Amino acid sequence: MSEQATPTEPSGVGLVESQTVELFTAARPLALDSGASLGPVTLAYETYGELNAAHTNAVLICHALSGDAHVAGLHAGDERPGWWDGFIGPGRAIDTNHHFVLCSNVIGGCSGSTGPASIDPTTGKPYGLHFPMVTVADMVRAQAALLDHLGIRRLRSVIGGSVGGMQALQWALDFPERVESCVIIAATGRLSAQNIAFNAVSRQAIMTDPEFFDGRYQEHDAVPRRGLAVARMMAHITYLSEEGLQDKFGRALQDREHLSYGFDPDFAVESYLAYQGSKFVQRFDANTYLYFTKAMDYFDPFPDDPTATAALAPVECDFFVCSFSSDWRFQSSRSKELVRLLLRHRKHVAYQEFASSQGHDSFLLDVPAYKATLKTFLDRRAGILQ
């Protein structure tokens, strides 16, 4: 989802273009947590605003599972703005009058960055499931190489929602000298067993599709559409709340006055989920979905107290952690666990839970108090507010 600008809002960033850069090569590959290496590695990215002369005003946005580098503005000929368009631009929450904003599609992605759909130089065919497993930390190391390429040594802030929040936390841990502040939105320090279970079922839906071909579906000119659509439908339910679904759909019928007494969709909510699944299949790679959900499962930077002590010792950035009242995928209680851990290790932390009936998707939407608080936090980093 992406919030649309209203006439009373400041204007956005306008027309934008994605860029790509090769950051690692076969001779100088990216070392991965799994012990494998990956090269060449290309990242797709977008930027908004101007980098100041001292290169000290950069704000990095980390995207969630289904996101990409196109955070704001419009691509030429496209009617749909970036996925966080209402948050980024002159005068907006992430004010491009004062911040240089950038976002990259993560490694393993399918929107211009090297991932399972990319060509394996050793075979001349798409990697498929021969693509090495990547972790959140691997994604962050690739982003750090992008900042090096752009001449940015320190970030004013790193911001992420959902899995992007995991990346933001990883940034603070792995590159403490490069992060001034860290905003973690609707995220957690590790997935619960329930979340791992949701991811496992999503992967099974994809991998048992007859058109999956053990991940080599591109070679067969096929797409595991049914499996990927079902995975997205199930995940989408977890991004919403019972209250939000009831308010939006209730038991309303879709394009009919009476029950069909068959297995075609009767209810509006069924049609809505089918639409979300089919739309997702058109833009997202099934193997990327597998890899990204596995990276989420593996994320656990603090498996015990001694590791937390060691990991957090060099961290000096200011944290802002926020959650949403109706989010049951990444509950507020999980955000509070992370806040307590950070406070126990004497880190500077602000926390707020925002009221919203839109579930996990709230972090993408126009929740006024949330946007205003985020703007205040970032404006203070820019010296606009004292």
| Contact status, residue 89 vs residue 99, Cβ threshold 8 Å | no
Q: DSSP letters along 217-272, please?
A: TTTTT---HHHHHHHHHHHHHHHS-HHHHHHHTTT-BSS-SS--SSSS--BHHHHH
**Cα gap 197→18, rounded to integer Å:** 35
Give the per-residue pLDDT at 79: 86
| Contact status, residue 260 vs residue 254, Cβ threshold 8 Å | no
Mean pLDDT of 104-121: 97
pLDDT digits (tens, 9 = 90+) for 187-234: 999 999 999 999 999 999 999 999 999 999 999 999 999 999 999 999
Give the per-residue pLDDT at 217: 98
Domain with CATH 3.40.50.1820 in the chain: 19-190+299-381
Between the CA of residue 130 and those of 95, 108, 127, 134, 318, what are the distances in Å?
41, 12, 5, 12, 39
pLDDT digits (tens, 9 = 90+) for 306-325: 889 999 999 999 999 999 99
Task: Write the single-letter amino acid at 112.
Answer: G
Mean pLDDT of 174-179: 98
Question: What is the set of active-site residues?
Answer: 162, 327, 360
pLDDT digits (tens, 9 = 90+) for 28-78: 999 999 999 999 999 999 999 999 999 999 999 999 999 999 999 999 999
Percentage of residues of the chain with pLDDT beyond 90: 93
Domain with CATH 1.10.1740.110 in the chain: 207-287
Mean pLDDT of 258-272: 93
What topology does CATH give the domain 207-287? Rna Polymerase Sigma Factor; Chain: A (1.10.1740)
Give the per-residue pLDDT at 307: 85
Mean pLDDT, the chain, whole residue set? 95
Give the per-residue pLDDT at 38: 98
Q: Which CATH architecture has domain 19-190+299-381?
A: 3-Layer(aba) Sandwich (3.40)
**Cα gap 188→342, rounded to integer Å:** 12
**Residue closest to 292 by CA, chosen among 112, 120, 139, 84:** 139
**Cα gap 373→84, rounded to integer Å:** 16
Q: Is residue 9 predicted with pLDDT exceeding 60?
A: no
> pLDDT grade, residue 10 (50/70/90)?
low
Each residue of 186-199: b (16+ CB within 10 Å) or e? bbbbbbeeebeebb
Tokens of 348: 């500077």
> pLDDT grade, residue 304 (50/70/90)?
confident
**Cα gap 271→323, rounded to integer Å:** 29
